[in-house]
Amino acid sequence: MKGDPTVDRLLRHLHGGDPRALARAITLVEDQQPEAAGLLAGLDQKRIEDVLVLGLTGPPGAGKSTLTGALITALRKQKYRVGIIAIDPSSPISGGALLGDRIRMMEHALDWEVVVRSMATRGRLGGLCASAGAAARIMAASGCRVVILETVGIGQSEMDIVRLADLTALVLAPGFGDDIQAMKAGILEVADLLVVNKADQPGAGKLQLEMATVFTDPKEREERICATVANEGTGVAILLDRIFTLEGEFRSNGQLHARRKRSFQLETLDWAVEIVKADLREKLKTTTFTSTEPRQAAMEMVSRSGECI
């Protein structure tokens, strides 16, 4: 907790940008160690205020990691320190995970101003939101100007993670994510920018035209869709430009503040559920129920009358 010498030392080092302290801090949070709460409470709030958390989501294979690599290059040209959190699903059977997003970002491997962290979902999306959100703040506190959150976005639950971001780009490519393209109406609920990647591939033009129909305002249509060839870096400077412009807008019109408030609530709820769950598990061991019906038994457990539902 606060005043814990180990936590204080870790905080001092990570605020100075020390790579190991930063990495340790993220592990403490990810493993939900008791020191995590005090650590997170001690982070530099000004830096957290100033960071841009950029969500990159889209179907597997669309080029998110490659695009992340290209964005890193563009951000480093502007001398910004960058954080990347690349999230992939844990195997539901073994609980293990194979995390390979780094492969596409290896050209930055020796640049300590580029902080890459791979994370597995560990089967609990709520908890993941909490750890990913906390990891983004730790990276921000270490001096990152931008933190990119890469997630595979196909279902609604993965989209939850996107809500942690200040601004989200949906990455599509010809032939990838036809299911996402089918839910065109819903796209704007999760994405601020649409990236048509693999613009060098057949079908990209058609995809771009299709995506254009998502926007009714011609100005938005112009500004919210970007075409890129991530592995060549084409279109990435423009994309980054749009990202920063939008960030500026969101900061001045209160949108960013509103989103952070929402993600604060989401994360707080996730933590509350995690904490209550642990308590309930303990309670379960010693409780004798009058009801044999799980739903009613649950009501008994949380001392609520079943009638209010």
Choose among ligand GDP, other proteins, Mg ion, none what residue 260 binds, the Cβ cut-off being 5 to 8 Å by kind. Answer: none
Taking CB under 8 A as the rule, which mask of x and - marks residues 33-62 in contact with other proteins? ------------------------------
Query: CB count, 10 Å around CB of 187?
Result: 16
Tokens of 25: 């801090």
For position 231 contacting other proteins by CB under 8 A, the verdict is no
Q: Which is nearer to other proteins, 121 or 228 (CB)?
A: 121
For position 65 contacting Mg ion by CB under 5 A, the verdict is yes
* Cα(31)–Cα(298) distance, integer angstroms: 28
Q: 226: which strand partners? A: 195
Between the two ends of the chain, the Cα-to-Cα distance in Å is 39
Residues 187-246 that bind ligand GDP (CB under 6 A): 197-198, 200-201, 229-231
State the virtual CA torsion across 213, 214, 215, 218 in degrees, nearest 10: -20
The sheet with strand 193-196 has its strands ordered as: 114-120, 82-88, 146-152, 52-58, 167-172, 193-196, 225-227
For position 172 contacting ligand GDP by CB under 6 A, the verdict is no
Choose among Mg ion, other proteins, ligand GDP, none what residue 198 binds, the Cβ cut-off being 5 to 8 Å by kind. Answer: ligand GDP
Q: Which amino acid is at 44?
A: D
Taking CB under 8 A as the rule, which mask of x and - marks residues 106-125 in contact with other proteins? x--xx-x--xxxx-x-x---
Residues 111-170 that bind Mg ion (CB under 5 A): none
Q: Which is nearer to other proteins, 22 or 169 (CB)?
A: 22
Q: Which is nearer to other proteins, 48 or 99 (CB)?
A: 99
- Least Å distance, CB 70 to ligand GDP, is 8
Choose among other proteins, ligand GDP, Mg ion, none what residue 96 binds, the Cβ cut-off being 5 to 8 Å by kind. Answer: other proteins
Tokens of 119: 């994370």
Q: Which is nearer to other proteins, 97 or 187 (CB)?
A: 97
For position 117 contacting ligand GDP by CB under 6 A, the verdict is no
Q: Among 221, 200, 154, 199, which Cα is nearest to 181's?
A: 154
What Cα–Cα distance (Å) separates residue 55 from each residue in 64, 83, 138, 159? 10, 12, 16, 10
